[in-house]
Amino acid sequence: TTVGLTVSSDIAVRLTAPASSVAVAGQPVTLSADITVYTGDPDDTINYKFWKNCTNPESQNLQAIITACGNPDATFDGVSADPQTATVTYSTIGSFTPKVFVQRGAVAGEDRVDSPVGVGAAFNYALANGGSVSILRGTTGTQTIQVTTLSGDPSAVSFIPSKVTGLPAGVTASF
């Protein structure tokens, strides 16, 4: 998700975050900040502060943001990289508003994702079969395997015949 720019007369910053379908609790998420306008000295170093969840209104005062949102989740001070990325991990399921605060030279800018990042559960499933099947030589048998979604959005599950183990010699599996 990319949001609009926060623009002062000297600096504009854009923060991007993954679409909500990409974010999974416990998995890393990459936030990216890009300075799109800077009228100062191109040799000025940059200080980036990233929060994975900060709904504090627009502010170019770092102390006000820290008071409202706590210490940043990722900090990069005195760097020249632009854009700058930060990898954060959301430990819980929910809706979050990432924010970045950038200082370069004597100016500061901030941006936050206005459409929150949705974090869901990782896809997990359970398999169950109907028990054992007795098959006479030269015949076929059928076994039902039930797939149950335990968490996350339902996804396709594939069975690979060559990965089936424990079959007697000359017996093959197919799905």
Q: What is the pLDDT of residues 45-76, one digit of tens each?
A: 999 999 988 887 767 788 888 998 899 999 99
Can you give the pLDDT at residue 72?
A: 94
Condensed to tens digits (0 to 9), the pLDDT of residues 74-94 reads 999 999 989 999 998 887 777
Can you give the pLDDT at residue 147?
A: 81
Condensed to tens digits (0 to 9), the pLDDT of residues 5-23 reads 444 568 888 888 876 546 6
Tell if the pTM clears 0.75, that is, is over it.
Answer: no
Can you give the pLDDT at residue 33?
A: 92
Handedness of CA 127, 132, 136, 142 (dihedral sign): negative
Condensed to tens digits (0 to 9), the pLDDT of residues 85-128 reads 999 888 777 778 888 999 998 887 877 665 556 555 566 778 88
Can you give the pLDDT at residue 123?
A: 66
